[in-house]
Amino acid sequence: MFEFAWLWALLALPLPLLIRLLPSRGQVQTAALRVPQVDSDLPGVTFRTGTHPARLGLAALAWICLVLAAARPQWLGEPINIPAKGRDLMVAVDLSGSMKVEDMVVNGQQVDRLKMIKHVLGDFIQRRVGDRLGLILFADTAYLQAPLTYDRDTVAQLLDETVIGLVGDQTAIGDAIGLAVKRFETREESNRILILLTDGQNTAGNISPEQANELAVANKVTIYPIGVGADQMLVQSFFGNRRVNPSADLDEDMLTELAKSTGGQYFRARDTQSLEAIYSRLDELEPIARESRQMRPQSALFYYPLALALLLSVALCLPSLWQWLRLRRRSAV
């Protein structure tokens, strides 16, 4: 279905005609600009009065295209039924400096922890049909990157565009939980589920994880913490290869307590396969019944008349430009 979002903008179509019909302040009997000795000073240049019908037609067509573009033409797709049941999931992703550690494997390649999270969560987000998803990024503090929305593609894109160190190098787990609780306060009928992905311990922020835990319990927010990081990895040194634990700073006791006190479950993501285990657990959650809704995808079409108006404007300017170039060439000679 085709429609104009701002149909009232079409009222501007007769505006140039109305301006042309307005009475002038006075009748000018003589020319506004006199050029003495035109024939001798500017040989070969002809000054025309009035407007050529073709140029007038191009200008009128360009104006019509501009008004059509301003009216925002758009194409509405077929209605899509939004499921009447679903969950509200807020995903909080750690972007601290420790996420740079390359102890994960994706498709046979060694990658850092954030790339592994993006790889797994990308598929997880697309599977959440009927669920509302939100995205929180945290490091030195926590920021809301995407509010709860049905637009899974936008959430996935925002997650894919994240970079390590975007909001600092430390880890504010308490702030991330507190921000999620605040966003859930406006949702009366909601599961209020927070998926918290981190690889360390709380080292920054305005509130502690204990205080944030109390807020989550009071507001009935269920937390599913996910500890990201391998148990061991090989590190090259002067004395050869040695095995180290890259997840030594992961505070599993704190994350386990967050899950236990809020009725969630703690997951340990040592690799891609173990992180994917959260799929089956979240699929078992009872969805909340909601009012049935419909949505229609929209495709903007304004750039077509706008591009045509630009081409027509260029066509209108070409004769004047050509005449100016001829004048410059004659004056140079």
CA torsion angle for 183, 187, 188, 190 (degrees, to 10)? -100
With respect to residue 38, please indicate whether it lies within any of the assigned structural domains.
Answer: no
Domain encompassing residue 139? 81-291
For the chain, how big is the Rg over CA atoms in Å? 32
Parallel, antiparallel or unpaired: strands 222-228 and 233-237? unpaired
**Residue 19 class from Cβ within 10 Å (0-12 exposed, 13-18 middle, 19+ buried)?**
exposed
> What is the reported pTM?
0.63
For tokens 């073709």, the residue is 54
Q: Are residues 173 and 232 in the same domain?
A: yes
pLDDT of residue 33: 47
Q: Are residues 280 and 333 in the same domain?
A: no
Take residue 250 and report the two structure tokens written for it. 């992961």
Classify 91 in phi/psi space as left (phi over 0), alpha (psi -120 to 50) or beta: beta
Neighbours of 151 (CB within 10 A): 13
CA 157, 159, 160, 164 torsion: positive or negative?
A: positive
Domain count for the chain: 2
Q: Are residues 278 and 312 in the same domain?
A: no
pLDDT of residue 97: 87
State the CATH number of the domain containing residue 176. Answer: 3.40.50.410
Buried b (16+ CB within 10 A) or exposed e, 291-311: eeeeeeeeeebbeebeebbee
Q: Are residues 98 and 240 in the same domain?
A: yes
What are the per-10-residue average pLDDT scores of the chain (333 residues)?
87 85 59 46 47 79 92 83 71 90 80 87 82 91 91 91 87 93 78 88 90 93 88 63 70 91 87 74 64 71 91 85 79 68
With respect to residue 165, please indicate whether it lies within any of the assigned structural domains.
Answer: yes
pLDDT of residue 245: 65
pLDDT of residue 67: 92
With respect to residue 115, please indicate whether it lies within any of the assigned structural domains.
Answer: yes
With respect to residue 45, please indicate whether it lies within any of the assigned structural domains.
Answer: no
Take residue 144 and report the two structure tokens written for it. 């809301």
With respect to residue 28, please indicate whether it lies within any of the assigned structural domains.
Answer: no
Report how far residue 164's alpha carbon sits from residue 159's, in angstroms, rounded to the nearest whole number. Answer: 11
Q: Are residues 183 and 222 in the same domain?
A: yes
With respect to residue 25, please indicate whether it lies within any of the assigned structural domains.
Answer: no
